[in-house]
Amino acid sequence: MTKIFITRAIPGQAIKELKKRKGIIIDAYEKDQQIPRKELLKRVKGVNILVPLLTETIDKEVMDWAGAELKMIANYTVGFDNVNVDEAKKRGIVVTNAPSQQTSESVAEHAIALILALSHRIVEADTFTRAGKYKGWDPNLFLGSDIMGKTLGIIGAGRIGAGIARRLHAGFGIKIIYTDTHRNPEFEKMFGAKFKTQTQLLKESDIVTLHVPLLPTTKHLISTKELKLMKKTSILINTSRGPVVDELALIKALSKKQIAGAGLDVYECEPAIDCNIKDKFELRKLSNVILTPHTASSTIQARQAMTAVVVKNISAFIDGKKIPNKIV
């Protein structure tokens, strides 16, 4: 008998199909909210396969409580920074993630939505109009900036970066430059993209969009020094992981108009939107920033695709087959 525990109900037909398999017992946290830590520790005891969400930190303590019966951690997320992979490897626990083309496309669309909304000041104009302040057409009202013909700098030219480049290069005639751990000839050929150092990219880009995993090497990848390199007219988009950007440095740069704006779907101290509630710096007070609650991949199609990937990983593990998205 294989016992599976899911830390929060996940959507999709695939999970229903998994429940039909013989020899499998699936349990899930009943409430539509993040599972409390104490409840998580209690529920993982004796579990063979754990399906956590990004909101759960799966560390040594969780693995200790689960015991030797825990054989697999099937993460319901593209990233895996919430799992202590090294500890899992020591214990012989398989760790998987859940990337999919559909998820990448959804995040790419969300990033583009932030770019357009910032450039055309959509959120500011919406707030203004709802407040009853619109008194008639004004040629100087909420002057924004066209993105056609601008330069887009992509930091991390993976599937999401490619999805953004494909849409904006073909649809808006945007010039694509990028930086990554290595050059990507196919990416360059498809979008006429030019490889740059990060310093060059920050200096040249009108729009900078981040698509890197959270690693020790990417924490505060964008901080005071990097923000000073950017144009005063440029905008920064982050749909990757919050700590990739030094949030306090960003707030100061936005406040001083060192850059024109930022679109953020992730936050350094998430779910808090303010790392230090005692200081005077707060993202929510800035009009030149758009904030969304980590919903870049929040579409019906993307969530179903993520569930399908998780189920494929689990099924392959149970059947002794090659696991598609094995991390360790």
Q: What is the pLDDT of residues 38-83, one digit of tens each?
A: 999 999 999 999 999 999 999 999 999 999 999 999 999 999 999 9
Same domain membership, residue 185 and residue 223: yes
pLDDT in tens, 241-293: 999 999 999 999 999 999 999 999 999 999 999 898 888 889 999 999 999 99
State the residue range of the domain holding 14.
2-97+300-318
Is 324 domain-assigned?
A: no
**What would the 3-class secondary structure string for the chain be?**
CEEEEECCCCCCHHHHHHHCCCCEEEEECCCCCCCCHHHHHHHCCCCCEEECCCCCCECHHHHHHHCCCCCEEECCCCCCCCECHHHHHHCCCEEECCCCHHHHHHHHHHHHHHHHHHHCCHHHHHHHHHCCCCCCCCCCCCCCCCCCCCEEEEECCCHHHHHHHHHHHHHHCCEEEEECCCCCHHHHHHHCCEECCHHHHHHHCCEEEECCCCCCCCCCCECHHHHHHCCCCCEEEECCCHHHECHHHHHHHHHCCCCCEEEECCCCCCCCCCCCCCCCCCHHHCCCEEECCCCCCCCHHHHHHHHHHHHHHHHHHHCCCCCCCECC
Same domain membership, residue 159 and residue 37: no
Average pLDDT over residues 216-233: 98
Same domain membership, residue 221 and residue 116: yes
Same domain membership, residue 155 and residue 85: no
Is 110 a residue of the active site? Answer: no
Is 294 a residue of the active site? Answer: yes
Is 7 domain-assigned?
A: yes
State how many domains the chain has: 2
pLDDT > 90? residue 12: no
Out of 8, 43, 121, 241, pick the active-site residue.
241
Same domain membership, residue 65 and residue 22: yes
With a pLDDT cut of 70, the percent of the chain lying above it is 100
Is 270 a residue of the active site? Answer: yes
Is 235 domain-assigned?
A: yes
Give dist(CA 36, CA 41) in Å, integer.
9
Is 327 domain-assigned?
A: no
Instruction: Check if the beta carbon of residue 163 is closer than 8 Å to that of residue 105.
Output: yes
**pTM (two decimals):** 0.94
Query: What does the pLDDT read at residue 96?
Result: 98
Q: pLDDT band at residue 2, thresholds of 50, 70 and 90?
A: very high
Same domain membership, residue 159 and residue 46: no
Same domain membership, residue 140 and residue 271: yes
Return the CATH number at 76: 3.40.50.720
Is 30 domain-assigned?
A: yes
pLDDT in tens, 87-129: 999 999 999 999 999 999 999 999 999 999 999 999 999 999 9
